[in-house]
Structure 1
């Protein structure tokens, strides 16, 4: 659906976050006389009124009955289409779309392909991979957009021009691309672990929704991780498949980067913390090859990449303790990857947050063989994690503490290290509740550790350069 197709229809916006505001701006720019209704929280009402738009009505009760009064609802990504009120309205004929769907529909060529588009998704690593792709393309002299879930809605670049589009998509947005009727030129899927079960309802639905970027959006070229068992078993008859992470494509052998049997460069000194991030470099280079460019010629430019905030971010050291902010970590697998990076160091890790029902059994099993010096649990699921780990602490040799909040968890972690080691915030869970998002949680961690939150929070390169 294109923006012009909203003209004269009963249209509502559901959500007034970053994506909701971008949708309002885009619709208003193309359809200045189009009446709109926004469903938002009471706390967002002042922001809506501040727009001064006389054609923008404001409501708070997004019930199935009220949503059913509209032909089209432009929904913010964080609102699940599986909510009862959304399902009720869908049953009554309301069509729900996202801002990403509108952008892709506007950009599709005659063959349905959005030229230069590279969509990147995965349970972990997608932000760094997307930013690294934009960095390498720009280093090669290509005008490149960096947008999407990473922090800049696509609709805010509705009329912009670029050679290439590095687009991060969450599992909340992959279906938007499929619903747009457009096709990405390249789609990259990094990995699939259980996440966002509260939004999707089950792990099976999470995987199916994530894979809609491949199975329904039908990219011209799909760039897939050959080490992920779910991806390795896919059959995509309408897409050319390019693999990374295995011997016939871009892959790592220890720290050495290879394309097939060709050794390209040593990655040990790159500003990409953790082997998983250097694996993401393989995905980026495979995507660049898929665009028809020479990835090997650009690979060395990874040395000048600026790591993103809140992702294994070393804030600094004080009194023998190094503080590391990995607030982006929202799955137990991400916490394990963070611990792997600091293997051999004394580490006190902070885990726990919003409880989405994800199992921590794999994390607990890993602690039997390779535990840090201390684990401090916190948040809504903290007690559940603590109860799972308690029987292991003595035999595995780690201290186990529980804390009511982040500040207390940090104090207990620092005390457990006794002046030597790493306090690692890698919660393995979202931040909802005390914090709006992982960024706010990471900023508070920096503040409580004695560092400037503003100095550690900006993402360089958003937009077009």
Structure 2
């Protein structure tokens, strides 16, 4: 649905975070007198009242009947359409759309490359933008990575490429996609999607529903190998011997060694596979990926993603607050094999299976594990039998500050203090950024120096 089609309709915006703010700004830019209802929190209502906009109605509560007063509701990504009150309102004919969906419906010059995956999508999207810019192309970096697409509405001059990160909440809204990149799949956000099967279906809608002109897929993921790709979509595989893949730390294109990934600031095999995905995408776009590969060495790693904050008293503090699944915690541990590690783990309990992570710790014990958050007690109980006999220190904390103290005590004056929670941050923290900032401060670092995502916007 294009923004112009909202004119004269009963329109609401549900949620006034950054996506909601971008939606209201876009409506006011294109339809300045359009009546709009904003459903928001009490704190969010104050700046809205300060606008003194006579066509704006502000509501600090919401239910299905209130939503049903509107024909179209632009909802924030974190609001699930599968649960009440959204599901009830939809039965009454309310059409829900996200801010990203509004952007995709607008005509825009430049090729659209959309990246998703259960892990690594932000890094891959940023890497892709970095490589495309290294080719001399004007490129936009936006989406779930931290800049809503609607904030780049009508940008001039238009970019040649759009590098767009999409979460599983947004993939179903993509359209007119030139390249869809899917990195990997494992269970996540089951509370939002309602089931593992629906999560996979929603994630893969970027390929199955959007029917992109090309898809770049991970040959090492069985679900992607078996995916029923639309016949109009040409598939390019990475993590395959015939294409871009890894051999130890070396990045290969087929039989050709191209780049020693140890010279790229991306720790861990999973991050190096992200580089393979980005290079495969550059190649799919018709550019010389072999020639551009060396540009990856100047890439700046993103905050809150295996971000080394520095050394204090012999301890390296690593902020991996973006980690929201047990699999991402395992990937973080793999980066620090052979070193003394105090792992801080736990957060919001979404019912994910922690068995795989427990097995990893059983096979390669760390120095200490400190559990915290809502699912901390459940993880602690699973680890307790493994910790018997002093194989590793096992401790419990209420939240991050206490966990940092316990982790530092366990390490003494040597090792890695690793925040890789494997769980969402709420309700204790507003988001993973807030949690990462809290970790940085507790570990003795300035939280204001760790947040900048390089390259957002158009350059």
What range describes the TM-score normalised by the shorter chain of this pair? over 0.9
2:388: which partner in 1? Answer: 394
The 5-angstrom pairing of residues 117-156 of structure 1 reads 117-156=112-151
1:165: which partner in 2? Answer: 162
2:209: which partner in 1? Answer: 216
Give the SS at the match of 2:112.
Answer: strand
* Structure 1 vs Structure 2 CA RMSD: 1.1
Give the SS at the match of 1:120.
Answer: strand
Give the whole-Å Cα distance in 2 for the aligned partners of 1:377 and 1:315.
21
The answer as to 2:322 corresponding to 1:325 is: no
The answer as to 2:285 corresponding to 1:288 is: no
Shift of 1:264: 1.1
Give the whole-Å Cα distance in 2 for the aligned partners of 1:146 and 1:52.
33
1:424: which partner in 2? Answer: 418
1:111: which partner in 2? Answer: none
Shift of 1:115: 4.0
Q: Is the 8 A contact 1:115 1:184 kept in 2?
A: no
Give the whole-Å Cα distance in 2 for the aligned partners of 1:174 and 1:50.
34
Give the SS at the match of 2:452.
Answer: coil
After superposition, what is the alpha-carbon deviation per residue over 1:209-263, rounded to whole angstroms, capped at 9, x for unaligned? 1011110001100100010111111121231111000111100111111111222
Distance 1:395 1:226, change over 3 A: farther
Unaligned runs of 5+ in 2: none
Give the whole-Å Cα distance in 2 for the aligned partners of 1:174 and 1:76.
14
Give the whole-Å Cα distance in 1 for the aligned partners of 2:201 and 2:50.
39
1:335: which partner in 2? Answer: 329
Shift of 1:396: 8.1
After superposition, what is the alpha-carbon deviation per residue over 1:434-460, rounded to whole angstroms, capped at 9, x for unaligned? 210011111111111111111111111
Give the whole-Å Cα distance in 2 for the aligned partners of 1:125 and 1:154.
20
Give the whole-Å Cα distance in 2 for the aligned partners of 1:341 and 1:314.
12
User: Which of 379, 382, 386 is equivalent to 1:385?
Assistant: 379
Q: Is the 8 A contact 2:124 2:275 kept in 1?
A: yes
The 5-angstrom pairing of residues 22-421 of structure 1 reads 22-107=22-107, 115-160=110-155, 161-177=158-174, 182-236=175-229, 237-394=231-388, 397-421=391-415
Runs of 4 or more, structure 1, over 6 Å off, are none
Give the whole-Å Cα distance in 2 for the aligned partners of 1:103 and 1:312.
31
Q: Is the 8 A contact 2:110 2:159 kept in 1?
A: no
2:453: which partner in 1? Answer: 459
Q: Is the 8 A contact 1:369 1:396 kept in 2?
A: no
Q: Is the 8 A contact 1:116 1:291 kept in 2?
A: no
Give the whole-Å Cα distance in 1 for the aligned partners of 2:371 and 2:48.
38
Q: Is the 8 A contact 1:12 1:39 kept in 2?
A: yes
Give the SS at the match of 2:395.
Answer: strand
Shift of 1:265: 1.7
Q: How many residues align?
A: 456
Give the whole-Å Cα distance in 1 for the aligned partners of 2:280 and 2:228.
19
Give the SS at the match of 1:84.
Answer: coil
Give the whole-Å Cα distance in 1 for the aligned partners of 2:243 and 2:49.
53
Give the whole-Å Cα distance in 2 for the aligned partners of 1:283 and 1:53.
46
The 5-angstrom pairing of residues 9-28 of structure 1 reads 9-28=9-28
After superposition, what is the alpha-carbon deviation per residue over 1:82-122, rounded to whole angstroms, capped at 9, x for unaligned? 122111111111100011111111026xxxxx741100000
Which range is displaced more, 23-32 or 42-51? 42-51
Shift of 1:51: 2.7
Give the whole-Å Cα distance in 2 for the aligned partners of 1:388 and 1:55.
55
Give the whole-Å Cα distance in 1 for the aligned partners of 2:390 and 2:275.
34
Give the whole-Å Cα distance in 1 for the aligned partners of 2:303 and 2:389.
36
After superposition, what is the alpha-carbon deviation per residue over 1:385-404, rounded to whole angstroms, capped at 9, x for unaligned? 00111111126811111111
Q: Is the 8 A contact 1:123 1:191 kept in 2?
A: yes
Which range is displaced more, 376-385 or 386-395? 386-395
Q: Is the 8 A contact 1:288 1:294 kept in 2?
A: yes
Give the whole-Å Cα distance in 1 for the aligned partners of 2:50 and 2:285.
43
Give the SS at the match of 1:268.
Answer: helix
Give the whole-Å Cα distance in 2 for the aligned partners of 1:238 and 1:84.
37
Shift of 1:52: 2.8
2:4: which partner in 1? Answer: 4
Give the whole-Å Cα distance in 2 for the aligned partners of 1:20 and 1:87.
20
Give the whole-Å Cα distance in 2 for the aligned partners of 1:29 and 1:342.
49
Distance 1:248 1:205, change over 3 A: same
Unaligned runs of 5+ in 1: 109-113
